[in-house]
Amino acid sequence: MKPELVEKIKSRGYWRINFEPLVAEQKLRLGECRDIVEKNSVGLRGWNYPHYPRRIADDSGLEPGANYYEGWIDWWSHLEFWRMYESGQFLHYVALVEDWQEKDGWTGSREERIEPKTVIGITGSIVYELTEIYEFLSRLATAGVYDEGVRTTVSLNNTKGRKLWIEKPGRRFYTDYKTQLETIEYTKKYSKEDLTTKPKELAFEAIIYICDRFGWHQPSVDVIKKDQANLLTRQI
């Protein structure tokens, strides 16, 4: 990995995701750390979660460490770094694409591009992202990584002064929903049964928690659930 990538991700808005098995023991062989991410990566909207690099180049890579495998990418507005450890711990940093539009070949030259650190898309960067995170977690649990349960910590960082933004045409907020928190952190412990039977519902709880911290205390529950369902059935 390029050593400066994590600091680059941290310089603007980003998600930090950490899954920690409740029982600390070696669960995977080194090669399995790579394989289990590849097999269970979630591909629902043209960009998989977590992103599994298919090539080694200046802008992406996949390589082993002493007790983990790591993957990374720094391509257009996509900046990510993850590690899967032999213990089953998973760590992932994901930059908010809204903050890197100047790197995006599709939107970088548009006059209306978004100023970094000002907004976060409610649909793409919160509803879809959290739904994918919990779907990936569920798949890992189904694969036997978290048989004794897991502690999940998901944090949204560099958020102070940032407001919710609706990306979809035809939808709008009639007031600004903004947070003064620098970091919004959501931590929960789950059993394997929870993860394998209701990942969408667990993701929904996390989505509502995040919305609350932006002051959106009565979010559109039906709309959020429909967006989740559309993502999971690839109808977006």
3-state DSSP assignment of residue 22: coil
pLDDT, one tens digit per residue, over 27-58 is 999 999 999 999 999 999 999 999 999 888 99
3-state secondary structure of 120: strand
- For residue 233, the model assigns a pLDDT of 97
User: For the residues 109-117, what does the mean pLDDT come to?
Assistant: 72
pLDDT at site 108: 46
* Contact indicator for 187, 151 with CB cutoff of 8 Å: yes
Contact 182, 159 (CB under 8 A): yes
Give the residues across from 133 on adjacent strands: none
Rg (CA), the chain: 17
Domain residue ranges of the chain, discontinuous segments joined by +: 5-232
Residue 104 has pLDDT above 80, yes or no: no
Mean pLDDT of 143-151: 97
d(CA 61, CA 68): 14
